[in-house]
Structure 1
Amino acid sequence: MTQEADQQVVEQTLAWVRQFIVGHDICPFAKRELENDTIRVEVVRSKKLQVALEELAAELAWLDEHPDTETTLIVFPTLFKSFDHYLDYVDMADNLLVELGYEGVYQLATFHPDYCFDDADPDDAANYSNRSPHAMLHVLREASVEKAIAFYGDTAAIPERNIAYLSALGSVAAEAQRQACFNALPHK
């Protein structure tokens, strides 16, 4: 794939972060990182699970060397068409964090176009808090998460607020907004 195609995936991902995640206040911490330009987006086009794990390990090492980058979105536009296959990868990725000694240093948040919470109906609008344009892993610095939680206070209210908000918005509107990210133009 070309650099141009990868850049398009980056723009789609950042449009989703700007328009949906920040625009609907799904994550109250995302706006600051977006404004500070401390979000890295890495596109992994491999179709091999092992390569996806190697790319995660490489990204963790990269983050170690670049403390000014707050967080990374590793985007897989070609690998995880199946949500179940993606969840298998997430389990392996969590295990890799432990194996590499990164437990307590980094944590992973998960996003997929077909994301469905345990025991949720696939059509439940609440799933859209984690439905992204492409399958991705969000690598967060644990220390930053702890600092944000200390500043924010009761983060347990965030998922409850998102469920109520997205349920009121509805699946049709949420899906239309997710789809709009595919038409993203470069952000200036």
Structure 2
Amino acid sequence: MQTNNSVLVTQQIKTWLEQVVIGLNLCPFAKRPYKQKQVKIAISTASDDDTLLQDLLQQFKLLENTPIETTETSVLVVTNHLQDFFDYNDFLNLADALIEQYNWQGVFQIASFHPHYQFAGTTEQDPENLTNKAPYPILHILRESSLDKAVESHPDVDGIPEQNIAKMNQLTKEQITELFGYLKD
């Protein structure tokens, strides 16, 4: 049973997916599985790395044991841990080690999102960082097979990051406030 807080967090993530990820077409592959209700949104209330790794392992196993037609991808939302972006970034190494430990290389990969996301060589306020900013730290588990199909069907996969940066640079301050209001810390 979901608590009121997890219902609120889930709604915030759905709004972010609908308005930012899908609404701005930052990921041209997100709309189809979302509309078909194949995106699992899971909430982790872990407050330490070990517990979060267990929650992450649970999501990997869920995807491993669930047909892609039912659940294509999982979005693990971290509400009580990894609030510092650099701690989050370090945790990604543990997540990758988990993938290796279970021989899931080539099966799963993680896309990363964080409220304070910052690409190397940028300042925190640079617009291109908005492409990976989310209301909470997120570990988005992707099936490699889904990515392979999506890449095959897209005319310019390599151009997506540049197109997204251009979109972020074209947003007005008002649009940024409306879409990314959760970034006010």
TM-score by length of 1: 0.91
Q: CA deviation at 1:12?
A: 0.3
Rounded Cα–Cα distance in structure 1 between residues aligned with 2:135 and 2:44: 14
Alignment match, 2:100: 98
Give SS of 2:166's match.
helix
1:1-188 correspondence runs (5 A): 3-67=3-67, 68-170=70-172, 173-179=175-181
* C-alpha distance in structure 1 between counterparts of 2:116 and 2:26, whole Å: 17
Q: Is the 8 A contact 2:40 2:73 kept in 1?
A: yes
Counterparts of 1:72 and 1:83, CA distance in 2: 21
CA contact (8 A) 1:12 1:181 kept: no
Aligned with 1:28: secondary structure? coil
Question: What number of residue pairs does the alignment pair up?
Answer: 181
Name the aligned partner's letter for residue 5 of structure 2. A
| TM superposition shift of 1:99 | 1.0
Q: Which amino acid aligns with 1:134?
A: Y
Deviation (angstroms), 1:78: 1.2
Amino acid at match of 2:167: Y
Change (3 A) 1:76 1:173: same
- Give the structure, 1 or 2, with the largest relative contact order (CA under 8 Å, sep 6 or more): 1
Give the C-alpha shift of residue 173 in structure 1. Answer: 3.2
Q: Is contact 1:39–1:70 with CA below 8 Å preserved after alignment?
A: yes
* In 1, Cα distance between equivalents of 2:31 and 2:181: 21
Indicate conservation of the 8 Å contact 1:149/1:155, yes or no: yes
Q: Which residue of 2 aligns with 1:186?
A: none
> CA contact under 8 A between 1:41 and 1:74: conserved in structure 2?
yes
Matched AA of 1:113: P
Percent identical among aligned pairs is 30
Shift of 1:175: 4.4
SS across alignment from 1:140: strand
Cα distance in 2 between the residues matched to 1:66 and 1:18: 24
Q: Which amino acid aligns with 2:35?
A: E
Alpha-carbon distance in 2 for matches of 1:18, 1:69: 18
Shift of 1:91: 1.1
Amino acid at match of 1:20: V
CA RMSD of aligned residues (A): 1.7
Q: Secondary structure at the match of 1:110?
A: strand
